[in-house]
């Protein structure tokens, strides 16, 4: 039921020099499905990461942070089916064991491997099955493995999510390819998902760290499906340096600007794909807030609207019960908000109508227009707070009957 989202075409996913991917069926939770992915990186690759802020962060997240601090990352191991979260010391031991097992197969140190898990929380990771599946995943390693890897990291996703772009940097063609997974338990802080974006640009580690944080903020931290922040959120940005461009060492030049724009573009595409494939989603909704005193204020309002189950169910029903949007704006936490000054528009790809102004319904608004617009699958709520020059955008989806069905049956 994904909203205007199609599965990527394998021929459109471009290999990234210095990256190989392999998948296997390890039986982590269910038989006969690809649930184990290995990503191998060339020597000299640089890796940056952004992770969940959930205090119950999963064992692999804890291990990833520690290993990233040591640098020289050469491989990633990703399993789906079991999140290895809420598993205490045994969970940490299993995460470390998965790193050690892959390191042994690739001739690396365990600290050069990053582990990732996604799936059911509070269940032990069957590390014996994971380790047994690693030789098959390693044997499958290939530069063209992005399409299969995008499928192998899925949980309740209905479609794989993958994007490639190419950009000229320093006279060289730089390739970027990324994959992500996520459909439910989606709320920014950072995002509730797994995302892996690789490029073959040469870029200094400090700049890559900053770019990963900025890209996450503008993409994965600007989406929400259901307001739940996962225990396993991870967004990894890789730069192999194999494109042969002169290393980017400062943010002032054209090379950095080109790389930044491309990384953010790919990140936004991957993040929006998660929302379009939100569990049970039938509508893709853009909540655009402008006229705030600062960006945080705009994000508060955008998230209040995007998280509201009353707003989301009204949009699912194509019911222009738009007073629910005003209610969400009102409880967003801006104590000195002048509601008589703000304005709200409802839009589709075809038209946009002013819904509210002067503290109430716009004089020009008729419900027939709202009902007509809400029949579209792509919708925009634009809010002008009339307080300043800042703005922010959040992407979300509606709540349908299937959202409840999917999550009621998640463990079956």
pLDDT band, very low/low/confident/very high, at 186 (cuts 50, 70, 90):
very low
Q: Which residues, listed in sequence order, are joined to residue 118 by a DSSP beta bridge?
A: 80
3-state helix, strand, coil in the chain (%, to 5): 35, 25, 40
User: pLDDT (tens digit, 9 = 90+) per residue, 261-309?
Assistant: 999 999 999 999 988 987 778 999 999 999 999 999 999 999 999 999 9
pLDDT of 9: 85
The percent of residues in the chain predicted with pLDDT above 70, rounded, is: 94
> What residues contact residue 315 under an 8 Å CB cut-off, 6+ apart?
283, 285, 374, 379, 398
Which CATH number does 10-276 carry?
3.60.70.12
pLDDT of residue 189: 43
Q: State the DSSP string of 126-189.
A: -HHHHHHHHHHHHHT-BTTTHHHHHHHT-SS-SS-EEEEEEEEETTEEEEEEEEEE-SSS---S
Of 204 and 183, more confident: 204
Strand 161-169 versus strand 172-181 pairing type: antiparallel
> Average pLDDT of 89-96?
98
For 33, the enclosing helix (H) or strand (E) is none
Does residue 396 have an active-site annotation? no
Bridge partners of 79?
Answer: 36, 117
Is the per-residue pLDDT at 385 higher than 60?
Answer: yes
pLDDT of residue 406: 67
How many Å apart are CA 289 and CA 304, to the nearest integer?
Answer: 11
Least confident of 1-5, 143-147, 176-180: 1-5
Query: In CATH, what number does 284-408 get?
Result: 3.10.20.340
pLDDT (0 to 100) of residue 188: 45
- The tokens for 65 are 């942070």
pLDDT band at 199 (very low <50, low <70, confident <90, very high): very high
The partner residues of 164 in beta bridges, in order of sequence, read 177
pLDDT digits (tens, 9 = 90+) for 37-63: 999 999 999 999 999 888 888 999 999
**382-411 mean pLDDT:** 85
| 43 to 12, 123, 127, 209: CA distances (angstroms) | 26, 35, 27, 18
Instruction: Name the phi and psi angles at 8, rounded to 5.
Output: -65, 150
Average pLDDT over residues 337-347: 97
Where exactly are the structural domains of the chain? 10-276, 284-408
Percent of the chain at pLDDT exceeding 90:
80
Active-site residue, selected from the candidate residues 118, 155, 175, 192: 192
pLDDT score at 251: 96
Section 346-370 average pLDDT: 95
Non-local (6+) Cβ contacts of 124 within 8 A are: 82, 84, 87, 90, 91, 94
Count Cβ neighbours within 10 Å for each residue of 48-61 and write b for 16 or more, e otherwise. bbbbbebeebbbbb
Average pLDDT of the residues of the chain? 92
Q: Can you give the pTM of this predicted structure? A: 0.92
Backbone angles phi, psi at 197, to 5 degrees: -125, 125
pLDDT at 183: 61
pLDDT category of residue 82 using cuts at 50, 70 and 90:
very high
- What is the average pLDDT across 156-183? 93
Collect all residues with Cβ–Cβ distance below 8 Å to 4 and sequence separation of at least 6.
276, 284, 377, 378
Q: Residue 191's closest CA among 227, 233, 238, 236?
A: 233
**143 contact partners, CB below 8 Å, separation of at least 6:** 15, 16, 17, 19, 20, 21
Asked whether 386 and 338 are in contact (CB, 8 A), the reply is: yes
């Amino acid at each position: 039921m994904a909203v205007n989202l199609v599965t990527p075409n394998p021929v459109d996913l471009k290999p990234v020099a210095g990256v190989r991917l392999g998948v296997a069926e390890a039986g982590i939770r269910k038989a006969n499905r690809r649930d184990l992915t290995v990503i191998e990186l060339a020597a000299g690759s640089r890796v940056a990461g952004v992770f969940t802020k959930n205090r119950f962060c999963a064992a692999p997240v804890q291990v990833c942070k520690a290993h990233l601090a040591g640098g020289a990352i050469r491989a990633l191991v990703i399993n789906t089916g079991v999140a290895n979260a809420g598993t205490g010391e045994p969970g940490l031991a299993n995460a470390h064991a998965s790193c050690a097992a892959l390191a042994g197969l690739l001739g690396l140190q365990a600290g050069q491997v990053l582990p990732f898990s996604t799936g059911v929380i509070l269940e032990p990771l069957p590390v014996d099955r994971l380790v047994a599946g690693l030789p098959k995943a390693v044997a499958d390693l290939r530069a063209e493995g992005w399409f299969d890897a995008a499928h192998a990291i899925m949980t309740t996703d209905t479609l794989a999510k993958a994007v490639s772009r190419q950009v000229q940097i320093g006279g060289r063609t730089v390739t970027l390819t990324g994959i992500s997974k996520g459909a439910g338990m989606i709320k920014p802080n950072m995002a509730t998902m797994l995302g892996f974006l690789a490029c073959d640009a040469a870029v200094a580690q400090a700049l890559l760290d900053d770019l990963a944080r900025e890209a996450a903020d503008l993409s994965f931290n600007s989406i929400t499906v259901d307001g739940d922040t996962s225990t396993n959120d991870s967004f990894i940005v890789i730069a192999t340096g194999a494109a042969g461009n002169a290393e980017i060492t400062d943010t002032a030049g054209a090379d950095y600007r080109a790389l930044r724009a491309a990384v953010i573009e790919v990140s936004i595409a991957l993040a929006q794909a998660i929302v379009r494939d939100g569990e049970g989603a039938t509508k893709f909704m853009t909540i655009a807030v402008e006229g705030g005193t600062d960006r945080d204020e705009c994000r508060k309002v955008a998230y209040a609207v995007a998280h509201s189950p009353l707003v989301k169910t009204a949009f699912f029903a194509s019911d222009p019960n738009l007073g629910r949007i005003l209610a969400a704006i009102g409880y967003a936490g801006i104590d000195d908000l002048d509601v008589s000054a703000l304005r709200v528009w409802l839009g589709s790809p075809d038209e946009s109508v002013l819904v509210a102004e002067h503290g109430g319904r716009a004089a020009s608004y008729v419900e027939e227009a709202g009902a007509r617009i809400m029949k579209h699958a792509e919708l925009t709520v634009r809010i002008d707070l009339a307080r300043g020059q800042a703005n922010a955008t959040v992407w979300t989806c509606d709540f349908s009957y299937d959202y409840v069905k999917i999550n009621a049956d998640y463990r079956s």
